[in-house]
Structure 1
Amino acid sequence: MQFNDLLNAICEAIKTRLPELKVCEIHGGRFTLDELKKISTRAPAVYVALLGTDAAAAAATGQPEVPLKLAVFIVAKDEVGLSRTAGALNLVEVLLQMVKNDTWQQPGVLEARSITTKNFYNGDLHKSKIALWGVSWVQPILLGDAPWLDGNPVNVTIYASRESKQVTS
């Protein structure tokens, strides 16, 4: 299992379950207020992020098991007949159920644990008429036979400005 594959699978599952979202995409992590103001025009939205990992350990299979710290951030705004708070809470409930019961149809993904929610409400968000909630969890994955484990050089493509360069690490 590769990190990007899991993030893409989570996004696709959310888009399938919640087709009325204006946005569901991978995000680099937490938000600044300025960024939230810019993206709030495309609410309701869900952003999926990998926040880090816990220490890897060997699973019973001998494969490296890495607990990923994942989160989905929910951005909602007032809609006709539905407040931003109610809309955000509706999405939180659906996403809690999805996280609790899903391995995202990916091999090597284990059951989620330590599922929590957080309301990021503050005065600035209130003035911006945005609701921001997060659902976070730990989802262990088995790395499996990664191409870099054989000791040979690994080619990684790095994009800098508009040029593509091959780097061997």
Structure 2
Amino acid sequence: MRTLQELLAAVVSDLAQLDGVRACEAFGGRFDLAGLERFGAAVPAIRVAILRIPASRTVDTGELDVDVEMAAFMITRDEHGQSRDQQALDLASRVMAAVQAARWGLSKIHPARNIRAENIYSSPAQAKGVALWGVSWISRLRMGRNAYAPVDGSMPEIWARDGRSGEEPEPVVTTGGQP
């Protein structure tokens, strides 16, 4: 069974590995300049959040497919001969590529879709000497318990009877999954 917390932790762990990122942490929601002032950041930094669950549906196995809207917020400053804007664009590009290709080490996740980037420019951010960019996407995560999964490691027997023959049923050999 997968959880939203597992997904968030996996995304944070993977994005923290991007070259040049000094800090990558989970964040409670949309990141803005007020968040930077409250929590600070060693830059370049990424803050990752689950923003909302716009849709979910139950599948035939009894599990739940959940569309998870996530975002990664990049914070940069002028340093090492590169402007904060150049660094932010570079990091946003690398985050978009990572999101598109990643399955975050999880087995029950679909490829990301609706990957978008947004410049979160503001005059106060400019005055603080930082650039803020956000990359958002939707990942579909399968959650819950598969009603057809073997409980003890063995496969369930499925019996079938032809009602016209009157013969005793024979077990149908299964290889797993849903009957």
TM-score (norm: length of structure 2): 0.75
Does 2:90 match 1:90?
yes
> 1:129 Cα shift?
0.8
After the TM superposition, list the runs of 4 or more consecutive aligned residues in structure 1 that deviate by more than 6 angstroms: none
1: CA distance between counterparts of 2:86 and 2:115? Answer: 21
Name the SS for the 2:73 alignment partner: strand
Q: Which residue of 1 aligns with 2:63?
A: 63
CA contact (8 A) 1:40 1:77 kept: no
CA contact (8 A) 2:31 2:73 kept: no
> 1:60 Cα shift?
5.5
Q: Which residue of 2 aligns with 1:9?
A: 10
1:42 alignment partner AA: A
Percent of pairs identical after alignment? 31
CA contact (8 A) 1:40 1:76 kept: no
> 1:66 Cα shift?
0.4
Looking at CA atoms only, which structure, 1 or 2, has the larger radius of gyration? Answer: 2
Q: 1:32 to 1:101 in 2, by over 3 A?
A: closer
Q: Which residue of 2 aligns with 1:76?
A: 76
Once superposed, what is the RMSD of the aligned Cα atoms? 1.8
Structure-to-structure mapping, 1:33-52, within 5 angstroms: 33-37=33-37, 39=39, 42-52=42-52
2: CA distance between counterparts of 1:34 and 1:97? Answer: 28
Q: Which residue of 1 aligns with 2:108?
A: 108
Deviation per residue, 1:63-111 (Å, 9 max, x gap): 2100001000000011030100001111011110011111111021111
TM-score (norm: length of structure 1): 0.79
Q: 1:144 to 1:38 in 2, by over 3 A?
A: closer
Unaligned runs of 5+ in 1: 147-169
CA contact (8 A) 2:62 2:144 kept: no
Q: Which residue of 2 aligns with 1:124?
A: 124
CA contact (8 A) 2:23 2:41 kept: no
CA contact (8 A) 1:108 1:141 kept: yes
> 1:55 Cα shift?
2.0
> 1:142 Cα shift?
0.3
Does 2:28 match 1:24?
no
Name the SS for the 1:17 alignment partner: coil
1: CA distance between counterparts of 2:29 and 2:112? Answer: 19
How many residues were matched structurally?
145
